[in-house]
């Protein structure tokens, strides 16, 4: 008699190929209409599932996870970041957590580089002029931006994505600087011709462009506080494709509104899906709807990692992308 398939509950719609494969392998409940689950629906899911597959929009805090049923043994997160999950509560409840690292590196780095180009060169402003029918023809002094070649780029967080951003930026002639918990390996630093800054404050004060590529953790919440933002040059640009909570968004909006910064390119926001109304009104800001990892290839790769993590766990082995091992 075949073993009973584990009940896997998926909180959002995933690529069709991934959902088909999951239904073949597991007893899978899908979210066909892609409506985000309410807190009550999440609680109901974790009380009945053997495996939960959440996304970054699902807040699995301690109030939710403490109500998990005895069956729930794995949270296979569809995403690299796990700041949506209370890991300590998961550990206390003997729930293993996995994620999907590595597959979104290039996609996110591409969007980061796109913003590094778009903000100083005023690309969205220019496109807006055309769409409104206001283009009157070329002029030597109209829509002038700033070149990026030769400028200093300060990368906050030199992990996979930070290094991928550095490789792209170096090809565009930017000087690479970075702040990290510790320096990267010497061969990587030499390849990127990157300068390590132990002091974030000192780095910020000397950069022309700052790219945020670190995860959101309690230690990085408002890492770029109002005080640190004021260290930036008045003409500096800031790009964030990591997590909105890393920047004090209200302080950033005030400074951009007051022209105390050159501009910003933001793909993430502190209170998603809400966006600070001040940011929406500014011409020196490029705003994207959290699409840094939004490629078909990336989403399929994420789904395949989720399936591998579940299958490995169900077969009694350690899943390859374990973030938190359950305490037995």
- pLDDT over 60 at 206, yes or no: yes
Domain extent at residue 73? 7-103+296-324
Considering the chain, what percentage of its residues have pLDDT values greater than 70? 98
Whether 39 and 95 map to the same domain: the answer is yes
Domain shared by 125 and 67, yes or no: no
Q: Where are the beta strands (DSSP E) in the chain?
A: 7-10, 27-29, 51-53, 74-76, 96-98, 152-156, 175-179, 195-196, 209-212, 237-240, 263-266, 285-287, 322-324
- Predicted local confidence at residue 4, as pLDDT: 85
Residue 1: pLDDT over 80:
no
Domain assignment present for 44: yes
The answer to whether position 55 is within a domain reads: yes
Mean pLDDT of the region 172-188: 97
Average pLDDT of the chain?
95
The number of distinct structural domains making up the chain is 2
Shared domain check, 217 and 90: no
- Domain co-membership, 31 together with 180: no
**Domain annotation covers residue 197:** yes
27 & 95 share domain: yes
Q: How far apart are CA 74 and CA 83, in angstroms?
A: 16
Res. 327 pLDDT band, cuts 50 70 90? very low
Q: Are residues 50 and 170 in the same domain?
A: no
**Is residue 178 located within the same domain as residue 51?**
no
Rounded to an integer, the average pLDDT of 81-90 is 94
The token duo for 102 is 């590595």
Please check whether residue 2 lies inside any domain of the structure: no
Per-residue pLDDT band for 324 (boundaries 50, 70, 90) equals low
Are residues 69 and 179 both part of a single domain? no
Q: Are residues 80 and 119 in the same domain?
A: no
pLDDT band at 2 (very low <50, low <70, confident <90, very high): low
Is 276 found in the same domain as 167? yes
Question: What is the b/e burial string over 17-29, where b = at least 16 CB atoms within 10 angstroms of the residue's CB?
Answer: ebbebbeeebebb
Catalytic (active-site) positions: 243, 272, 290
> Does 265 reside within a domain?
yes
Q: How confident is the model over 148-152, as a mean pLDDT?
A: 98
One domain for residues 267 and 130: yes
> Domain for residue 1, yes or no?
no
CATH number for the domain that contains residue 167? 3.40.50.720
Residue 139 falls inside a structural domain = yes
Do both 182 and 36 map to the same domain?
Answer: no
In a 3-state reduction of DSSP, which class is residue 157?
coil
**Given this model, what pLDDT does residue 188 score?**
97
Residue 72 lies inside a defined structural domain of this protein: yes
């Amino acid at each position: 008699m075949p073993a009973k398939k584990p009940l896997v509950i998926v909180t959002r719609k995933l690529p069709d190929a991934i959902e088909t494969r999951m239904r073949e392998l597991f007893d899978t409940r899908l979210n066909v209409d892609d409506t985000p689950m309410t807190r009550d629906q999440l609680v109901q899911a974790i009380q009945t599932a053997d495996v939960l597959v959440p996304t970054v929009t699902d807040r699995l805090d301690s109030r939710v996870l403490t109500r998990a049923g005895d069956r729930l043994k794995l949270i296979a997160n569809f995403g690299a970041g796990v700041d949506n999950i209370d890991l300590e509560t998961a550990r206390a409840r003997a729930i293993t957590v996995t994620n999907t690292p590595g597959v979104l590196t290039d996609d996110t780095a591409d969007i980061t580089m796109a913003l590094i180009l778009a903000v100083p060169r005023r690309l969205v402003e220019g496109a807006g002029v055309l769409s409104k029918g206001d283009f009157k023809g070329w002029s030597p002094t109209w829509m002038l931006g700033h070149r990026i070649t030769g400028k200093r780029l300060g990368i906050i967080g030199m992990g996979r994505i930070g290094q991928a951003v550095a490789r792209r930026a170096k090809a565009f002639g930017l000087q690479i600087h970075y702040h990290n918990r510790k320096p990267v390996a010497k061969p990587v630093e030499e390849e990127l011709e990157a300068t390590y800054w132990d002091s974030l404050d000192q780095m910020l004060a000397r950069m022309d462009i700052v790219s945020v590529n670190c995860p959101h953790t309690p230690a990085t919440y408002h890492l770029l506080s109002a005080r640190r933002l004021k260290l930036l040059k008045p003409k500096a640009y800031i790009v964030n494709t990591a997590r909105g909570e890393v920047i004090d968004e209200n302080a950033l909006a005030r400074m951009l509104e007051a022209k105390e910064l050159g501009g910003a390119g933001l793909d993430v926001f502190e209170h998603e899906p809400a966006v600070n109304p001040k940011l929406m009104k500014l011409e020196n800001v490029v705003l994207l709807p959290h699409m840094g990892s939004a490629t078909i290839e990336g989403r399929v790769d994420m789904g395949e990692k989720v399936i591998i993590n579940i299958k490995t766990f169900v077969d009694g082995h350690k899943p390859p992308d374990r973030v938190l091992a359950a305490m037995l």
